[in-house]
Chains A and B, each alone.
Chain A
Amino acid sequence: MKKELRLMKGNEAVAEAAIRAGADGYFGYPITPQSEILEYLMEANPAKTTGMVVLQAESEVAAINMVYGGAACGKKVMTSSSSPGISLKQEGISYIAGAELPCLIVNVVRGGPGLGTIQPAQSDYFQSVKGGGHGDYHLIVLAPASVQEMADFVDLGFELAFKYRNPVLMLSDGAIGQMMEKVYLSPQKERSTVFPDWATTGKPATRERNIITSLDLDPNGMEMHNHKLQAKYNEIREKEVRYEEFQTEDAEYLLVAYGTSARVSQKAVQLLREQGIKVGLLRPITLFPFPTKRINELAGQVKGILSVEMSAGQMVEDVLLAVNGKVPVKHFGRMGGIVTTPEEVVENLKSKIIGG
């Protein structure tokens, strides 16, 4: 079937894509700059068409625990929020990771810390990629850089979540969530009527009861469970790394950036090339798993790397680990809701890497 072309906000694209992906449930709570997701779904009222449940919860905490309950029934469920709300969800996300439940969480990041601001930022990298809640766990983290990707990563997110029985986080930001672009929407998928064998759907006589828990009071059992989780994360590291390269073939310098910063950095590459400076861009699409291997390879080719992120420097830590001392690595980024400009990236590559 042909894809439908629409002009939409990133947030609206997520909502529409969720309906079309055959999602069973969305549980949300209003917070700027992502409230359009809940608003769009309420207006679209998919209960009448696909039967998808849309519920406005009393808090982000309740919403993520609704996701836990729905996911444990083997249903395709999701929530969305923005930074302070994601902080509130972290306890529930840890339980979901511990109980190995598939779900999709969308974070349309705003500036922090605290109540911060409502403008776009990328300062939630740590709480997305390094776990976020308590315990040793990872989310699969997808970083869209366009409205199209915000739509596409809904389907991809659910696919990966169910493939690995692991929560998937879409790490967007206030710029991509709020801006309008053309987007090709996939045709409507049927909601699934078959559920995984581990799901709590009522115990028939033909199977043992299904238990969803993250608890094991026996430390040996808990360590075994942790080993199992780590083996899964290693498999994800091996198989699910996604990234995009732009003019890296002959690059002498490299920019690494995701999301909005990647778009800004792509323009910076163009400006630098016009000045005769051979620079390329690597855009991680998955932040966990991180494109460590490819960045390490490129570190053997370039003279220096600038990590660009709208933060005080979070992703740069993973870039440094990937480069492992081969070449200088620096960070540049604006904070608190200010979007970096291409000119600033040009200037900082020159001062911190080329001239440095």
Chain B
Amino acid sequence: MVEATGIKEIIKPENLVYKKTKIMTDNTLSYCPGCGHGTAHRILAEVIDEEGLQSQTIGVSPVGCSVLLYNYLDVDIQQAAHGRAPAVATAIKRLLPDKFVFTYQGDGDLAAIGTAETIHACNRGENILIIFINNGIYGMTGGQMAPTTLPGMKSSTSPYGRDVKTMGNPLKMTDIVATLPGTYYVTRQSVHTPANVRKTKKAIRKAVQYQKLDKGTCFIEIVSNCPSGWKMTPVQSNKWMEETMFPYYPLGDLKTPEE
């Protein structure tokens, strides 16, 4: 234990090893404790900062837990209708082709109501980055079944577990878009350990470079947790994610450029 006076001596610029990126605002995040959104926001913000893209960036936030993305990132942001972010981003990029354009969408937004917009933006090869947070549940509305909910998984609208015979199987949108010629770089990552955070950040950085080179759609799925929706502690949720989500949604690149 360090005494209070000792802390003051330690907090000096020369001892600084980490600080909040300037692209993150001072607003308090609205996410539940242990949720992956905050980390995903931070690494996206870090890449925007490190690549000097603040004045070039236009983001599109979805309907879902991250609807208030514009409160947390200090860049120009449009809030889109539920599922429509890829269509919104399409027009932004077509009209302002020199800007860095990204969407940030959850699995209900992207894989259910926004399926058509997602597939067609990817199929046209829109030169945008789609960040897809997949936690297998509708978080904001209180834990309902999503298209990505695993077989047997309980939610408020699948209280006896997802019965694939009547409720369908989990939709692997990332696998689908990887088959489309319009996508250039498709990867599935996570942010639940420092090593995975670094990998995901690297993926975002790659996507930024590819967008500068006008390569087509980059699609990064981040398999994430929802402690509140899953009714688990943050630690339990990360363990469950590793044991149950990753076998169905394996991490790694699905499509990498032939360089």
User: Which A residues form the contact surface with B (CB < 8 A)?
Assistant: 24-25, 27, 53, 55, 57-59, 61-63, 65-70, 72-73, 75, 77, 91-92, 95, 99, 200-205, 209-215
Contact = CB atoms under 8 A, between A and B. Distances in A.
A61 B82 CA distance: 11
B173 interface: no
Contacts of A75: 95
Nearest to A213: B79
Contact of A200 (B58, B73, B81, B90): B58
13 contacts: A53-B91, A55-B91, A58-B116, A59-B116, A62-B84, A65-B91, A69-B89, A70-B92, A70-B95, A73-B91, A92-B84, A200-B77, A202-B56
B120 A202 contact: no
Contacts of A214: 79
Interface string B75-115: 11111110010011111101110010000000000000000
B21 interface: no
Nearest to A210: B76
Contacts of B77: 200, 209-212
Given A65-B117, A72-B78, A72-B88, 19 more contacts: A53-B91, A53-B94, A55-B91, A62-B84, A68-B78, A68-B80, A69-B88, A69-B89, A69-B90, A69-B92, A70-B92, A70-B94, A73-B58, A202-B56, A203-B57, A204-B55, A209-B74, A212-B77, A212-B79
Given A73-B92, A209-B75, A202 B58 contact: yes
Nearest to B84: A65
A66 B91 contact: yes
A72 B76 CA distance: 10
A127 to B, nearest CB: 18
B208 to A, nearest CB: 14
B55 A70 contact: no
Given A69-B89, A213-B79, A25 B95 contact: yes
A63 B94 CA distance: 13
B88 A209 contact: no
Contacts of B117: 58, 61-62, 65
